[in-house]
Structure 1
């Protein structure tokens, strides 16, 4: 799998500072000590406990994106994936100096722990009267690192660290004492577990181009946020419904001696948790929503009660195509606990005036509310008239032809998709495949069977609308709807069946022209469709092989055409011609036409 080696920056050396300046422009309530790369609150209330964090850059919005009222007081930033040095951290401690004390929160990475720890000790040596006013919390929530492996270095810090920031920051904002804020932070750190998974490692700006770490069929479970290798690789890439339960086993197991880090109740369940699904930087919002859905399903099967759900980019690894799952195990509401579940959730729900914190509902998630469409028989629909209930001359041949076409479209999906990656928006092959699979399902269910051709075409039109969607779905749906209308008026007449089809196809094409400006030659699906229908109409339906040949030639010719309509119109014309890329939609029509006749 390829790595994104290209980035937007002036120079690698100035990237971090340029980014921090941009953050301060976005959020005027924070300021930047440029020499030390410290972002801090410009209006700190020094009667309250301060929270200081930091580490290498490249994890945005962590850490600087969480500086502000209700969360962090300052963040000390190193270069990409590199800890800031101790003098930078000492400057951060000086900037947040206050009457009540400071809690330093760092992820468990050797450089961060050493440099922040050294700065704390140096500060104590310089200010002995304040030696006890600076506390230190180390977050190691990564369960991919087993207990044996972590004996010396401990577990790595991942996105669970952000929950520590948020909950401790809320208590500090309320005026909590140094002991209270420290104890809250330590409690959350001790009761949080995370696991990451990635499709590929990331590339650090300014370094030499990287080769792929993982093949196109592999994923890696347990990857760190600095390109560290994970616990294991899996091939082929599993469906989320298979992957998520494996990840949750790492988090909640009570039988794995290496990874039973928290006292989950096990098979009997009943535990309450906070769920955080974190984008490691390169996963689309579309996919993230699916991850949340599948994680909720898997947690329900384990009888875990999710009290809050957070999703988004909290702690990234630059643009890594991966995500992590974090669970915070809440204290039992029956036992006397400090802090209580109610207090933890209230701190999590408290407002935070920072750009990095994502919106959350502040309530227990309910089951997804869906509104089901009324049954098809209760909806207005195209219904063939009584005289349109015309069976195909050979019912079996009719359905076999449709099946052959559908299987051919499914097989052609990778080729058409690749064409559309260059010439459009990359979804044409998948759209056609989705429609073909839906048609095959209707044949399997006996809905399309050739006993009523017009009604079968109406069903195909509805499938194009619903299963395909988008521009292609609309065009196909209009065409098949118009074809059904044409057949209703021509089949009962004195036309032969073959001529009735050619007349109806020509009528359907004219009706399609009502809704699209595309006319051949236009580098769209209209090119082969029109070529096919024109030949068929002139021969009154008696020359199907020649019509198919004309349609195929029309699709091939799109390699040489300038795009005048469709997605390709937005692509550089010279590029399409140079690469001899045919129009993906036209190619889909070619596949359909060439499979109308059994070879």
Structure 2
């Protein structure tokens, strides 16, 4: 294993020190491992998300104006604890309530539920939305039901813009749920990933094969196939997603994220084929992102997310955002 680390045990702590040093506009609660965007916004709903580390920039990279107010960082591929989530809620609640945005992994769901109960005992009004958008498998090693992946980024951005407009907790939750229900994702891995604490690939994948429908923790997907061309990989993802939800008849927001180990030149090549395939199906892409937005350490491969948007979603998507990973209109 060759990694830019000091020790496997200090990876998360060192990364959080780096976030603090690189972005002095953010506050890092090192005790609770929470990244915070400044002081509470009085009278505005606060958004909190989080999960296991190793998926950066998710979630800390999306903390800032127009998106998340705080992100809780668990150990690599391990859910943060309820105490972390409670600490985040108490530090960002501005009196209008807190929305928890939760990826559908069993540990995350249970811990956020417990955090909501603890926050309620302290007089903090909370609501939650669970993102379950991965079309690859119904149940996985980490989940009951579909996994929560790329649509999480869309929920955080669009719900964050709704909160910035001063909408109520119920209104922000409704927006978040609408986005969550309107997004679908599918990923393909060319290699495994290596957890620093383990020191070897988390699963074996022969050089001439790829994992179709892989999870962001390296969970098995739908099947294992012979390595294919970029266009064949794009077609596999597009067909799986569009077979699950009709994306014709309105605007779509598309995101092709790398999984951590594929360069942009490859991602743009795949996206070129995705764009062609969507056009052939009569699907109109109104907005797009290509890059590393939700990763799996050093895994090579990519994941496609499509969001069936409406005018309100597009307006909120276009609203100003100022985070380390997304920034426009500010």
Report if TM-score (shorter chain) is over 0.5: yes
Please, which of 76, 81, 85 is the counterpart of residue 80 of structure 1? 76
Name the counterpart of 1:568: none
* Residue 251 of structure 1 pairs with residue 241 of structure 2: yes
Q: Secondary structure at the match of 2:322?
A: coil
* Residue 240 of structure 1 pairs with residue 209 of structure 2: no
Q: Which structure has the bigger radius of gyration?
A: 1
Structure 1 residue 149: Cα displacement = 7.7
Is the 1:312–1:358 contact (alpha carbons within 8 Å) kept by the matching residues of 2? no
Q: Secondary structure at the match of 1:166?
A: helix
Structure 1 residue 227: Cα displacement = 1.0
Is the 2:322–2:328 contact (alpha carbons within 8 Å) kept by the matching residues of 1? no
Name the counterpart of 2:301: 322
* Residue 346 of structure 1 pairs with residue 315 of structure 2: yes
Structure 1 residue 295: Cα displacement = 0.4
TM-score, with normalisation over the residues of structure 1? 0.53
Deviations 1:305-347 (A, max 9, x none): 11111111111101110110000012xxxxxxxxxx2211111
In 2 relative to 1, CA 162–135 (structure 1 residues): closer, same or farther, beyond 3 Å?
same
CA RMSD in angstroms comes to: 1.8
Structure 1 residue 280: Cα displacement = 0.8
Structure 1 residue 12: Cα displacement = 1.6
Name the counterpart of 2:325: 356
* Residue 296 of structure 1 pairs with residue 296 of structure 2: no
> Whose helix proportion is higher, 1 or 2?
1
Please, which of 270, 276, 279 is the counterpart of residue 255 of structure 2? 276
Name the counterpart of 2:212: 221
Name the counterpart of 1:65: 61
In 2 relative to 1, CA 47–126 (structure 1 residues): closer, same or farther, beyond 3 Å?
closer
Is the 1:71–1:166 contact (alpha carbons within 8 Å) kept by the matching residues of 2? yes
Aligned residues: 328
Q: Distance in 1 between matches of 2:96 and 2:158?
A: 18
Q: Distance in 2 between matches of 1:190 and 1:324?
A: 18
Q: Distance in 1 between matches of 2:328 and 2:262?
A: 18
Structure 1 residue 242: Cα displacement = 2.0
Aligned structure 1 segments of 4 or more residues deviating by more than 6 angstroms: none
Q: Distance in 1 between matches of 2:140 and 2:12?
A: 33
Q: Distance in 2 between matches of 1:28 and 1:212?
A: 38
Name the counterpart of 2:118: 122
* Residue 91 of structure 1 pairs with residue 60 of structure 2: no
Is the 1:49–1:172 contact (alpha carbons within 8 Å) kept by the matching residues of 2? yes
Deviations 1:448-495 (A, max 9, x none): xxxxxxxxxxxxxxxxxxxxxxxxxxxxxxxxxxxxxxxxxxxxxxxx
Deviations 1:277-299 (A, max 9, x none): 11111111110110111100010
Structure 1 residue 211: Cα displacement = 7.6
Is the 1:194–1:251 contact (alpha carbons within 8 Å) kept by the matching residues of 2? yes
Name the counterpart of 1:55: 51
Q: Secondary structure at the match of 1:47?
A: coil
Structure 2: unaligned runs, 5 residues or longer: none
Name the counterpart of 2:34: 38
* Residue 158 of structure 1 pairs with residue 149 of structure 2: yes
Name the counterpart of 2:186: 195
Q: Distance in 1 between matches of 2:233 and 2:284?
A: 20
Structure 1 residue 359: Cα displacement = 6.5
TM-score, with normalisation over the residues of structure 2? 0.95
Structure 1 residue 200: Cα displacement = 1.1
Structure 1: unaligned runs, 5 residues or longer: 254-259, 331-340, 361-599
Structure 1 residue 358: Cα displacement = 6.2
Q: Distance in 2 between matches of 1:243 and 1:288?
A: 11
Is the 2:104–2:148 contact (alpha carbons within 8 Å) kept by the matching residues of 1? yes
Name the counterpart of 1:28: 24
Q: Distance in 2 between matches of 1:156 and 1:164?
A: 15
Is the 1:198–1:320 contact (alpha carbons within 8 Å) kept by the matching residues of 2? yes
Please, which of 248, 262, 285 is the counterpart of residue 264 of structure 2? 285
Q: Distance in 2 between matches of 1:220 and 1:358?
A: 32
Structure 1 residue 204: Cα displacement = 0.4
Q: How does 1:331-480 map to 2 (within 5 A)?
A: 341-357=310-326
Please, which of 106, 111, 123 is the counterpart of residue 107 of structure 2? 111
Please, which of 139, 145, 150 is the counterpart of residue 131 of structure 2? 139
Structure 1 residue 270: Cα displacement = 3.4
Structure 1 residue 196: Cα displacement = 0.4
Q: Distance in 1 between matches of 2:135 and 2:203?
A: 25
Name the counterpart of 1:365: none
Structure 1 residue 43: Cα displacement = 3.3
Deviations 1:205-247 (A, max 9, x none): 1313238611111111110011111111111x21122221221
Deviations 1:495-546 (A, max 9, x none): xxxxxxxxxxxxxxxxxxxxxxxxxxxxxxxxxxxxxxxxxxxxxxxxxxxx
Is the 1:277–1:324 contact (alpha carbons within 8 Å) kept by the matching residues of 2? yes
